[in-house]
Amino acid sequence: MICCLQTLLLLGAPLVLSGRVLTAPTAPNNFFYHNFLSRNGSKQSIGVKLHVDSAQASVFAVRGGNVTLPCRFWYEPELSSPREVRIKWSWVPAAGGHETDVLLAISPHSRSFGEFRGRVQLRQDFPGDAALLMTELQLNDTGRYHCEVVDGLEDKSVSIDLELRGNVTCLI
């Protein structure tokens, strides 16, 4: 029964629920919509758009130091109560290679992976803050980091380049 209803909604067939007609969600402009036809036939839409951005496209740091990779998300229109989202940070090395997971977080729970384990965490200073705090930076941490925010079926991401410079000590 549920499978048939989902198929009908995906094919654009309206579903009548308690005097209202619910049509299939649409998302050509990144909005999540619920379209309703009221009893008098007028169409009403309720939409929420997820945004993700970074204050900086590139960040520079020193080997052995700490850095914050900025990332934030918000909704338009602003929500009255917070939603549970999944935040995923991943990394592609500057030298090339495949994308590697750095950190995955859902609400207060997070997990870091591989060489990043124990060296990364989310800042979460304010609602929508998804900044990545990194400690004990290594030269091979250089690369492109992706901050992805997932809310249900909708996801948005932003990329930040991290460049590390080593400390040079000259002994005479």
Distance CA(172)–CA(169), nearest Å, equals 10
- Evaluated on CA atoms 48, 26, 150, 153, the torsion sign reads positive
- Neighbouring CB atoms inside 10 A of 45's CB total 11
Q: Which fold has domain 50-164?
A: Immunoglobulin-like (2.60.40)
What are the boundaries of each domain within the chain? Answer: 2-41, 50-164
Q: b/e map of 83-107 (b: 16 or more CB within 10 Å)? A: eebebbbbbbebeeeeeeebbbbee
Output helix, strand, coil percentages for the chain, rounded to the nearest 5.
Answer: 10, 50, 40
The pLDDT score that the predictor gives to residue 81 is 84
Checking if the pLDDT of 26 tops 70, the result is: no
Q: Which of the pair, 144 or 12, is modelled with greater confidence?
A: 144
The pLDDT score that the predictor gives to residue 120 is 98
Q: Which of the pair, 121 or 171, is modelled with greater confidence?
A: 121
Residues 76 and 51: beta-carbon distance below 8 Å: yes
Checking if the pLDDT of 139 tops 70, the result is: yes
The pLDDT score that the predictor gives to residue 3 is 46
Checking if the pLDDT of 91 tops 70, the result is: yes
**What are the tokens at 1?**
């029964």
Kindly report, residue by residue over 34-82, the tens digit of the pLDDT. Answer: 444 445 554 444 588 999 999 999 999 999 999 999 999 999 998 888 8
Residues 25 and 11: beta-carbon distance below 8 Å: no
What are the backbone angles phi and psi of residue 157, rounded to the nearest 5°? -145, 165
